[in-house]
Amino acid sequence: MRRLERDEDYLDELLIETGMDHPDVLIYPDAMYRELSGDPLNAEDWWHIDPRVNWLLEKLSDDSEQGFANDKVLVIAHQRETAEGIAEGLRVLGGYHAPVFHEDLTLIERDRAAAAFADDEDGCQVLVCSEIGSEGRNFQFCRHLVMFDLPQHPDQLEQRIGRLDRIGQQHAIEIHVPTFEGSPGERLLRWYNEGMDAFSAPTGIGSDLFEAFGDALADALLDDEMLDEIVAETRTMFTAQLAERDAGRNRLLELNACRPARANSVIEAVRELDEDTALSRYVERALDIFGVDSQELGKDLLVLEPGQHMLDGLPGLVKGEEGFTATYRRDVALARDDVQRLSWEHPLLREMMGRIIDGAMGNTALALLPHPALPSGRLLVELIFRTHCPAPKRLHLNRFLPPTAIRVLLDESGANLTSKISFTGLSKNVQKVNKSMARELIKSRHDQLRELLLQGEGEADRELPSIVEAAETRMRSQLDSELARLTALAEHNPTVRETEIDAIRQERKALSDAIEATRLRLDAVRVVITTDPKK
């Protein structure tokens, strides 16, 4: 899946004599030139004479299959100074704008650099990262990884590749490691490649190999004969540990770890949820109600910022401070770490929905209904009840009895119109009423409304038993089958303890008691007054 390239175009053009007694210095170029020149000031422009910078420039301008001209390129170097030097060399020698991504940047600066790299149309082609600065960031939209130098620990090497080798990667990752011929860096590359196949696939064995051969490897980087022995011994240990790991695999468990039919149904459900426009419509209305300003940036991005009248306590939004960039698209959020994906599970939406459901916001309303077939001044009351059960969270009652709404629509004579007029149909035709008029209308119909509320409670209570019975049936169906399975298994398998069976019995009883204790709670009331549409 991964392609390793060791480009030798410039290996014979090494312009400086290297001191072979400093292998670590030779691997990291900024330290190398600083060591050789003896003057840190002169070492600052090491990229002028480093052939690897020229190699990178040629790759960036090459539009053939071997070049990078049409692709994003992530360059990783061990030290921050090296990364800054590479970026400066690309700018001065080739005119490329390459943001630098390192540990000394602020979080906002890192987000901006990552965003500039992720942008397909107007973004930069190259991003240069330091070792630590690249950790925790995902660049799965990029397939070319240039390791300007090699890390000395296999875990760090895997960490570098892991920046690209993530969910969403569409191509085989192409790894490019330019090295100086005969240098310790080239010998380290050989140990990684020949000793443990570090560039082919993740194995998780590299740390053990480094612990066993790390000290000897440091000396072998200066001696080809010693390196041959270390590579051979590393390969032997690598093969043995790989075989031992494969022998311990539970293939039956692996075969059942992913059930394609079930996985496909989950994937399809996620796609349908992503394509549902109800989320964007809800967010648009909720942002307006809570006083959050939104501005579209294009490319499916929008910026959410605190408005002048925003309600306090909304996650990610503080008055007087900047907001955040968001999107509804999953792929955009995965590609850009600075963009948050808005979903029903986003903290902002959960907070807004929690306030609407559990608070007093929006739970009462009065509206006018112009309708030529209804006499003017006729009263309608719409009641929304919700099931309420104070069960402990450990029972996870929502599995069997999620919060369920019961709607009751009554006219002033007490007739039940719930099945005749839908919630959506009514909502589309009603009109707003100013607060002063609403107060007067409520006062004039106060006693009548009280009677309708009491009648509505009775209507809703008649529907509760069927909801409770359905929840009890779902719970019994699942737990009874699990109890029967464990009981039958215990007869043949002594490792199944009686305490496990008792735990299911106790859970079943606790759930049954909780479901039986379910009651209805009045959640919202809408009073509707009919009017003559001609007036």
Q: For 111-117, what is the mean pLDDT?
A: 83
Q: Lay out the sheet containing 301-306: strands in order across.
A: 292-298, 301-306, 324-327, 339-341
Q: Give phi and psi for 237, each to the nearest 5.
A: -65, -40
Buried-state track 222-259, b at ≥16 Cβ within 10 A, e below 16: eeeeebeebbeebbebbeebeeeeeeeeeeeeeeeeee
Pull the structure tokens for residue 117: 């790299």
Instruction: Quote the CA–CA distance of 380 and 374 in Å, as a whole number.
Output: 11
Neighbouring residues of 281: CB distance < 8 A, sequence distance ≥ 6? none
Greatest mean pLDDT among 37-46, 58-67, 293-302, 376-385? 376-385
pLDDT at position 247 is: 79
pTM: 0.63
Per residue in 22-80, pLDDT (tens digit) is: 344 344 454 444 444 444 434 567 888 889 999 999 999 888 878 888 889 999 998 88
Cα torsion angle, 463, 465, 469, 472, sign: positive
pLDDT at position 44 is: 62
Q: Give phi and psi for 497, each to the nearest 5.
A: -85, 150
Q: Which domains are assigned to the chain? A: 3-181 (3.40.50.300), 261-358 (3.30.360.80), 364-531 (no CATH)
pLDDT above 80 for 168: no
Instruction: Quote the CA–CA distance of 20 and 232 in Å, as a whole number.
Output: 23
Neighbouring residues of 119: CB distance < 8 A, sequence distance ≥ 6? none
H or E stretch covering 87: helix 80-94
Q: Which of 6-10, 291-295, 371-375 has the weakest average pLDDT? A: 6-10
Q: What is the CA radius of gyration of the chain?
A: 34
Nearest C-alpha neighbor of 326 from the set 308, 306, 346: 346
Q: Which residue has the tokens 């001191």?
A: 19
Nearest C-alpha neighbor of 149 from the set 129, 163, 168: 129
Confidence bin at 530 (pLDDT 50/70/90): confident
Q: Give phi and psi for 146, each to the nearest 5.
A: -105, 115
pLDDT at position 19 is: 35
pLDDT above 50 for 137: yes
Average pLDDT value for the chain: 84
